[in-house]
A and B are shown apart, each in its own frame.
Chain A
Amino acid sequence: MTDSDKSGGGLLNIDVAAAAEKVETELRQVVAEDLGRRGLVVAMSGGVDSSVCAGLAVRAMGPKRVFGLMLPESDVEPEAREIAEGWAKQLGIDYAVEDITPVLEGCGCYRRRDEAIRRLVPGYGDGWSSKIVLPGDRLNSDQLNVYYLVVQDPSGNSERLRLPPREYREIVAATNFKQRARKMLEYYHADRLHYAVVGTPNRLEYDQGFFVKGGDGLADVKPIAHLYKTQVYQLADYLGVPKAVTERAPTTGTYSLSQSQEEFYFAVPTKAMDLMLYARNNNWTDEQTASASGYSEVQVGRVFGDIEQKRATTRYLHLAARLIEPVEEIE
């Protein structure tokens, strides 16, 4: 059994029709009654999460009350946008393609990021690409999480360096412009249409703080934040999301070098991570989880520890603005 196959069998299977109906019913309630809005804006990356959200939004509100947004930039391959457009057309929704590269250039996203990289790799420049990765293999390693920069020169030679804190923070801060620029445009369209903005994190991302505060973490409603990634794929099949979406290897779509969520953040294969999170949430012991997953108790212990550490580290991302004194008329 390979690591990627260890998904605990059908433990995470859901009644997809019931799950979809629940989301659709709640979406209508939230949008029309709670938020007083007339439709939904969905930023569609070409990935399975946003594609499922768009599908659910259309079933909840009808295609005339869903607006799709494709928000490409120069570090993301065009294939993703093409896939997203194809699904939007299939859903019959209005949509717009807004290239955020000029916005990112204007706020110095690429310049700030590259300046930080050049302090470590002086030759970094045109034709180079980069990404950030974790040590990897959380299952088999006790190494604490520190980040590494991987750079690739125009000839294809690559190098990996451990990131000092200042450069790590500056690269991440600069890169976070991408998620925040996208959200700015989502809310522009939401304001002009009087719509609400959909956030598309799945449960793994939401729970483990894999989002940018004020970026992809900002939304009016998050229809799939309670669903494990495995379940999102089940819904995708049910909704008829194209195989171009569901069979595409998920990437973060954030760095110029292709980067998976596993190497950037989770350090564990997605299916394994789903099961580990499910086990943790249901108070399984290390032994029970090992038995269900096929991993050793030591491996399970490492992942459980990592889950809790990420929850602690990213707790601040979930917090709303704190008031010094409550404003009871509004609370």
Chain B
Amino acid sequence: MNVQEIIERIRSYVVEEFLYARRDAEVGADDHLMAKGVIDSMGVVELLEFIQEEYEITIADDEITEENLGTLSAIANFVLMKRDAVGSSA
């Protein structure tokens, strides 16, 4: 699993769930999802659940930040970091 694979998977989820009426809309890897209006506060909660279930990671309260979850790139790097941490503690 690499950054690009995660980006594509999250992008696919975001388009399916939040942009279903605008399938031709483009979500760049570094687009800020909330600022661009792709997701709102409810969307953050749903995205959080998807990421945790999809990648079998637990996201702590203080990790729910724009820095970690604000863009597709940020999410991908955050997921890899979390999975590496799980792997190295196994």
B45 and A168 within 8 A (CB): yes
Q: Mark B34-54, 1 if CB is under 8 A from A, else 0.
A: 100100111011101100000
**B68 → A minimal CB distance (Å):** 9
Q: Which residue of A lies closest to B59 (CB)?
A: A162
A134 to chain B, nearest CB (A): 10
| Chain B residues within CB distance 8 Å of chain A | 34, 37, 40-42, 44-46, 48-49, 61-62, 64-67, 69
Within the complex, the shortest CB–CB distance from A315 to chain B, in Å, comes to 9
B47 — nearest CB in chain A belongs to which residue?
A: A165
The smallest beta-carbon distance between A314 and chain B, in angstroms, is 9
Expressed in whole angstroms, the minimum distance between the Cβ of A324 and any Cβ of chain B is: 15
What is A's interface to B at a CB cutoff of 8 Å?
135, 142-147, 162-165, 168-169, 309-310, 312-313
Q: Could you say which of A144, A147, A313 contacts B65, with CB atoms under 8 Å apart?
A: A144
By DSSP majority rule, is chain B's interface helix, strand, loop, or mixed?
A: helix
Instruction: Please name 12 pairs of A and B residues whose Cβ atoms are closer than 8 Å in the assembled complex, sorted by A.
Output: A142-B66, A142-B67, A143-B64, A144-B66, A144-B69, A145-B41, A145-B44, A147-B45, A162-B61, A165-B42, A165-B46, A312-B37
- Evaluate contact between A135 and B45: CB separation under 8 angstroms: no
The residue in chain B whose Cβ has the minimal distance to the Cβ of A163 is B45
Across-interface contacts of A135 in B (CB, < 8 A): 61
Q: Which residues of A contact B40 (CB under 8 A)?
A: 309, 312-313
What is the count of residue pairs linking A and B with beta-carbon distances less than 8 angstroms?
Answer: 42
Measured in the bound complex, the distance between the Cα atoms of B59 and A143 in whole Å is 12
Known: A162-B61, A165-B49. 17 other contacts (CB 8 A): A135-B61, A143-B65, A144-B44, A144-B65, A144-B66, A144-B69, A146-B45, A163-B45, A165-B45, A165-B46, A169-B42, A309-B34, A309-B40, A309-B41, A310-B41, A312-B40, A313-B42
In the A-B complex, the 4 residue pairs with the closest CB atoms: A313-B40, A165-B45, A165-B46, A313-B41
Interface centre among A142, A144, A147, A312 (most CB of B within 10 A): A144
CA distance A309 to B34 in the complex (A): 8
Q: Which of A165, A168, A309 has the most CB of B within 10 A?
A: A165
Q: Give the chain B neighbours of A162 by CB distance below 8 A.
A: 61
B34/A146 in contact, CB under 8 A: no
Nearest CB in chain A to that of B37: its residue: A312
A142 to B34, CA, bound (A): 14
Within 8 Å CB of A169, what residues of B? 42
For the complex, what is the distance from the CA of A168 to the CA of B45, rounded to whole Å? 9
Closest CB of chain B to A120's CB: distance in Å?
Answer: 13
User: How far, in angstroms, from A132 to B39 measured CA to CA in the complex?
Assistant: 22
How near does chain A come to B37, taking the closest CB pair, in angstroms?
A: 7
Closest B residue to A316 by beta carbon equals B40
